Amino acid sequence: MEAAQFDIFREQGCLRLSGFHPRKRMAPIKQQLLDELKRLKVGGAGKSLSNRLQGLPAFQQIGKLSSLVTVPGLQEALMTRELLAVIVGLAGGAPSSSQGIQLLLSPPHQGDSTLHGLNWHVDMAAAPGERAPGIQAFVLIDDVAPRGGATLALAGSHRASGPRLRELLKTSPDLEASLREMGLAIIEMSGRAGDVFLMDMRVLHTPSINSTKNVRMMATSRWFFDR
């Protein structure tokens, strides 16, 4: 891991590793997912949804669809020794525990892309110190276009979280402008298959609306560190 990467992660709470996994590693995983989605009648072209998804709020669709699909060997294929080495470097030590891999699948055509009404949250409460008490990895299994349902992270929010910020996230008519005034910015975890995003688990983040015709295919896992 380069010193510049550590500095970015420390300041923003989020680091992008472009092309970390080769596309040839991602292709068979994507195909397994497409086969499963075809079985569930959630086609790559987005023409129909399973009856079990219809009528659910957009963010509940993500959890439901992801729970219906299984890909054997996903943890070993994506959460590799090389990735763990980067995570250990960012955290300054080996993890004390971890949480197994989870799929993050968003159905297509969920609605218009918006920054309003999103589910901003943290997975670990803010704690003193520069080192992250937990790191979450997000892996793009397929290309994810902008406004394609990628997870959104609020860069720098692990250092600036508070009542005012949370109120802005709920009420600001121009959220991006309001965030710029606070020195914060939204990172959209879109990109190409094989890209990896590493996030300090104190960072505010949220699912987003998939307004494209393609299923959003990502996977995530978490590591925890004693402090």
Quickly count: other Cβ atoms within 10 Å of residue 134's Cβ. 22
In the structure encoding, which two tokens stand for residue 4, read together?
């510049």
DSSP string, 16-47: EETT-S-HHHHHHHHHHHHHHHHHTT--TT--
Q: Summarize pLDDT for 15-57 with one digit per residue, the tens.
A: 999 999 999 999 999 999 999 988 887 754 445 555 667 778 8
Q: Summarize pLDDT for 46-81 with one digit per residue, the tens.
A: 455 556 677 788 889 999 999 989 999 999 999 999
Q: Summarize pLDDT for 179-198 with one digit per residue, the tens.
A: 888 889 999 999 999 999 99
pLDDT score of 14 more than 90: yes
The pTM of the full predicted model, rounded to 2 decimals, is 0.92
Which of the two residues, 171 and 162, has the higher pLDDT score? Answer: 171
pLDDT score of 218 more than 90: yes
Q: Summarize pLDDT for 196-217 with one digit per residue, the tens.
A: 999 999 999 999 999 999 999 9
Distance CA 183, CA 199 (A): 18
Which of the two residues, 166 and 103, has the higher pLDDT score? Answer: 103
DSSP class of residue 112?
A: -
3-224 has which CATH code?
Answer: 2.60.120.620
Does residue 144 sit in helix, strand or coil?
strand
pLDDT score of 162 more than 90: no
pLDDT score of 176 more than 50: yes
Q: What is the pLDDT of residue 45?
A: 43
CA 8 to chain centre: 17
Domain boundaries, the chain: 3-224
Q: What is the pLDDT of residue 9?
A: 95
Q: What is the pLDDT of residue 44?
A: 47
